[in-house]
Amino acid sequence: MARKKNRKGDPVHGWLNFNKPVEMTSTQAVGLVKRLFNAQKAGHGGTLDPLADGVLPIAFGEATKTSAYAMDADKDYTFTIAWGSSTTTQDREGDVVAQSDARANMEEISAALETFVGDIEQVPPKFSAIKVNGERAYDLARDGEEVELQSRQVTLYEARLDEASTRDKAIIHVTCGKGFYIRSLVRDLAAKLDLEGHVSALKRTRVGNFEISEGNSPELLEAVSDLETRRRLLVPIEAALDDIPAIEISSEGEMKLRNGNEFRLLPHEMSKFQTLRAELQGEDSDDRVALAMADGTALALGEIRAGFFKPFRVFQI
């Protein structure tokens, strides 16, 4: 019988609101905090490009089972468009492919920006992590291959041109849904205005409940010498589940969940779920996903059907 492989580190669970600096990759960020927290397992909740800085939620241990929820969460960005040149990558890393002295005024930019608010069709950048026939689009693009990516529906909830913008630089604040590419927005906005432009700076200021004002920089984390004190910077698993009803369950339900079994909700538990669902998702929501809690600790994600809680993610904490 094969011996079970021992994992390095401790079984750490929870989320870290990490403030990633420019030039650091998301993978490097995970490696850094995994070492600083001496954690067995860690992963990020949505890639942030090396040229971007800001919020990068990092999950430890059982929290990695909720990473998809962070990736799907609404996000806030502040970015700068440098007018005058377009690049292969739509950001300052790429080679210049077109230049122009043409500029637009603030009113023209704001009006054009407004046309992208709502549910729109967006073609991802050729330099992106999307897979094409099993290969990353950016690898194909770097090899000089023509990459044809299909448009997809994304949502831009809000977009605002900052008053500090100048003739040569537009500073824009947006709130968007999952799968939205800022570089694609800049490409399409420039085309609409008949201008050339690229992203010169990009900061992610929020991912779901994770706000940049509460983020932890590498310098802050390394300045905390005591491991236990550092771990107190983590937030619970449910931090990434802000729009999912969380209900405290009975001890009997807890025992069944610990074994991965479904259980029948008590009347007050069912009522609590329905009330929270309406508050978080609206009166018309028919979403059946709920988070089971016991003494303030997340136990499992599951679906509620015919009065039963049926788990599909059980947290081993």
Q: For the chain, 317 residues long, give each residue's pLDDT as a single digit of tens.
A: 454 555 789 999 999 999 999 999 999 999 999 999 999 999 999 889 899 999 999 999 999 999 999 999 999 999 999 999 999 989 998 899 999 999 999 999 999 999 999 999 999 887 656 665 566 655 655 656 667 778 899 999 999 999 999 999 999 999 999 999 999 999 999 999 999 999 999 999 999 999 999 999 999 999 998 999 999 999 999 999 989 999 999 999 999 998 889 999 999 999 999 999 999 999 999 999 999 999 999 999 999 999 999 999 999 98
What is the set of active-site residues?
A: 49
| Predicted structure pTM score | 0.91
pLDDT of residue 144: 62
Other beta carbons within 10 Å of 271 = 12
Q: What is the pLDDT of residue 276?
A: 95
CATH 1.10.150.240, applies to 75-207: no
Residues 6 or more apart in contact with residue 45 via CB below 8 angstroms? 15, 56, 57, 58, 59, 67, 69, 70, 71, 73, 207, 240
Task: Give the Cα separation of 76 and 64 in Å (integer).
Answer: 22
For domain 243-314, the CATH class is mainly beta
Per-domain residue ranges of the chain: 14-73+210-238, 75-207, 243-314
What number does CATH give the domain 14-73+210-238? Answer: 3.30.2350.10
Q: Which residues lie closer than 8 Å to 67 by C-beta, 6 or more apart?
A: 43, 44, 45, 59, 240
Answer yes or no: same fold for 14-73+210-238 and 75-207: yes
